[in-house]
């Protein structure tokens, strides 16, 4: 069957990575993939120091649970540091390693699937297949532990406890080895993609991929909206606790990255721009929350920073019509608690970084849409 020419694009995918940076208005932008949102304390220290020494001291949390450094003055030096920190296992695949996973990894009340080992295995399998280096930088894998949190992102390929979703459509095929099915489905996408970046862009794309897998599409429940923004203590099923904290507007300074590194051996970056620390005891969860509040994180569900996001705005983005970050910060300073509906501030009609689900959209100048 011939490739499907769906999107009709005139340019190649320019999604940034660590080796292929984006020339933003405030300098090169480097995006570091962290599959499953998993970052160790040593890696956080490396990125924190690099943001301060090589960039503008800004690390942004992305809507795919990755990390990006702004204004990088020496991209080659950054790439060396990222590789030394084991954050670049395959240079050829760096932009293909877009894997989100439920931050609690099966530990929560509704979690039934341990996603941590699956994320690590999927990452290794991706890097082991040379052809998958050709996946667009926007192609997304999701591993949902049963809570529905990352299934709500409508990834290209989503593993849920019941099986596999192809751009949200349920595949009627047993997944004996789920990682093998995921990488085979990704290769099937490459067979039919044409110049499309996402499976949903291909007319009848989910059916075409299902046929290549030897299955068919089945009726299934509609994917729900993402969970509301959250901060604070979360109970785990094993009696321990997780702590979710929110860096204001999804941005870390180098010092904040290092503060996270001091309190846990590893953390999970979420697609809703928060950070989850897991497997804490009742004796230390509140102590760690206090330390991170002192470092500038929101650690309480009622914090005005919870549920407020913003694009980069000026001067970082040449397309922005204003200083979105500054306006959003001033607006939040006037609140006494978290807004009832999520709010996203945007500097132009592209609405970069806007979360899915119900949202109040504010533009540069404070106007609502």
Is 270 a member of any domain?
Answer: yes
Task: Give CA 127 to chain center in angstroms.
Answer: 19
Q: Provide φ and ψ at 130, rounded to 5°.
A: -55, -35
What's the CATH number where 168 sits? 3.30.413
Residue 303 within any structural domain of the chain: no
Same domain, 286 and 316: no
In a domain, 10, yes or no: no
Please report which residue ranges of 264-317 form alpha helices under DSSP H: 285-294
Q: Does residue 5 surpass a pLDDT of 70?
A: no
The residue among 206, 208, 187, 202 whose CA lies nearest residue 4 is 202
* 325-355 pLDDT per residue, tens: 999 999 999 999 999 899 999 988 888 888 8
Q: Are 280 and 154 found together in one domain?
A: no
Please indicate, yes or no, if residue 15 is contained in any of the structural domains: no
Residues 6+ apart with CB under 8 A from 8: 195
Which residue segment(s) compose the domain that 38 sits in?
22-218
- Domain shared by 187 and 324, yes or no: no
Q: Name which of 39, 64, 221, 225 is nearest 141 in CA terms.
A: 64
Digit-coded pLDDT (tens) for 264-275: 999 999 999 999
The answer on 239 and 212 residing in a single domain is: no
CA distance 11 to 39: 33
Question: Token pair 């989503």 is at which residue?
Answer: 158
The CATH number of residue 268's host domain is 3.90.480.10
237 & 328 share domain: no
pTM over 0.85: yes
Strand partners, 69: 30, 59
How crowded is residue 216: how many other Cβ atoms within 10 Å of its Cβ? 12
Higher pLDDT, 216 or 11: 216
Query: What is the C-alpha radius of gyration for the chain, rounded to an integer number of angstroms?
Result: 20
Nearest CA to 110 out of 70, 150, 156, 69 is that of: 150
**With contact defined as beta carbons under 8 Å apart, do 266 and 41 qualify?**
yes
Band (pLDDT 50/70/90 cuts) for residue 4 is very low
**Residues with Cβ within 8 Å of residue 201, at least 6 apart in sequence:** 6, 7
pLDDT tens-place string over residues 74-124: 999 999 999 999 999 999 999 999 999 999 999 999 999 999 999 999 999
Q: How far apart are CA 112 and CA 162, in angstroms?
A: 10
User: Domain total for the chain?
Assistant: 3
Judged against a pLDDT cut of 50, whether residue 235 lies above it is answered with yes
Q: Are residues 194 and 327 in the same domain?
A: no
């Amino acid at each position: 069957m011939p490739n499907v020419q769906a999107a009709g694009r005139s340019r190649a995918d320019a999604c940034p990575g660590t080796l292929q940076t984006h020339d933003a208005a405030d300098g090169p932008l480097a995006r570091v993939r962290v599959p499953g949102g998993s970052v160790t304390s040593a890696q956080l220290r490396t990125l924190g120091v690099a943001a301060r020494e090589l960039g503008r001291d800004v690390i942004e949390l992305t809507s795919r649970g990755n990390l990006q450094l702004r204004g990088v003055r020496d991209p080659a030096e950054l790439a060396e540091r990222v590789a030394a920190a084991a954050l670049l296992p395959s240079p050829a695949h760096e932009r293909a390693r877009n894997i989100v996973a439920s931050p609690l990894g099966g530990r929560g009340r509704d979690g039934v699937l341990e996603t941590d080992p699956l994320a690590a295995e999927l990452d290794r399998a991706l890097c082991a297949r040379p052809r998958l280096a050709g996946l667009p930088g926007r192609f997304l894998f999701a591993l949902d532990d049963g809570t529905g949190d990352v299934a709500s992102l409508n990834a290209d390929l989503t593993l849920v406890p019941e099986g596999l979703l192809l751009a949200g459509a349920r595949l009627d095929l047993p997944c004996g080895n789920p990682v093998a099915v995921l990488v085979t489905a990704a290769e099937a996408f490459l067979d039919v993609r044409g110049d499309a970046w996402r499976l949903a862009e291909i007319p009848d794309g989910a059916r075409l991929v299902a046929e290549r897998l030897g299955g068919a599409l089945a009726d299934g429940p509609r994917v729900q909206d993402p969970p509301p923004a959250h901060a604070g203590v979360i109970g785990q099923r094993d009696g321990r606790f997780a702590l979710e904290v929110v860096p204001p507007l999804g941005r870390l300074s180098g010092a904040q990255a290092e503060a996270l590194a001091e309190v846990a051996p590893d953390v999970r970056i979420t697609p809703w721009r928060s950070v989850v620390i897991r497997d804490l005891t009742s004796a230390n969860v509140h102590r760690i929350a206090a330390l991170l509040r002192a470092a500038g994180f929101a650690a309480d569900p009622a914090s005005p920073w919870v549920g407020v996001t913003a694009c980069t705005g000026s001067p970082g983005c040449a397309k922005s019509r204003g200083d979105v970050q500054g306006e959003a910060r001033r607006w939040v300073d006037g609140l006494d608690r978290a807004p009832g509906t999520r709010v996203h501030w945007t500097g132009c009609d592209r609405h970069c970084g806007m979360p899915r689900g119900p949202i109040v959209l504010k533009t540069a100048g404070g106007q609502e849409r």
